[in-house]
């Protein structure tokens, strides 16, 4: 099963447990996590279901390509990492 991890900085705001869930796309994997932890959805996704600008997601170490529908494939042993994006100067 794919493994989903969240950066520790997100723990300041919400419980972000590491999870192993079913799913073959980022959308399916995250929906499985949100089913158990619904408060995470609003922090990670906007009202249209796209990844919020301040969030970065990586699949097997590669940045998420489809930030709108989250259709990037996740293998059965895939790793999805969700983190708060940093900006500034």
CATH code at position 25: 3.10.20.30
In a domain, 89, yes or no: no
Residue 44's region, left for phi above 0, alpha for psi from -120 to 50, else beta, is: alpha
| Full pLDDT tens readout for the chain, 89 residues | 999 999 888 777 788 889 999 999 999 999 999 999 998 999 999 999 999 999 999 999 999 999 999 999 999 999 999 998 766 65
**What are phi and psi for residue 68, nearest 5 degrees?**
-90, -55
Strands (E) across 1-89 are located at 3-6, 19-20, 55-59, 62-63, 79-84
Number of structural domains in the chain: 1
What is the per-residue pLDDT for 21? 97
In a domain, 16, yes or no: yes
In a domain, 52, yes or no: yes
């Amino acid at each position: 099963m794919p493994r989903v991890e969240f950066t520790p900085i997100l723990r300041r705001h919400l419980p972000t447990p590491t999870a192993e869930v079913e799913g073959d796309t980022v959308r399916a994997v995250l929906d499985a996590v949100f089913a158990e932890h619904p408060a995470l959805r609003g922090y990670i996704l906007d009202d249209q279901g796209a990844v919020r600008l301040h969030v970065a997601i990586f699949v097997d170490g590669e940045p998420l390509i489809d930030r709108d529908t989250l259709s990037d494939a996740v293998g059965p042993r895939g790793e999805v990492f969700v983190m708060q994006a940093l900006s500034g100067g």
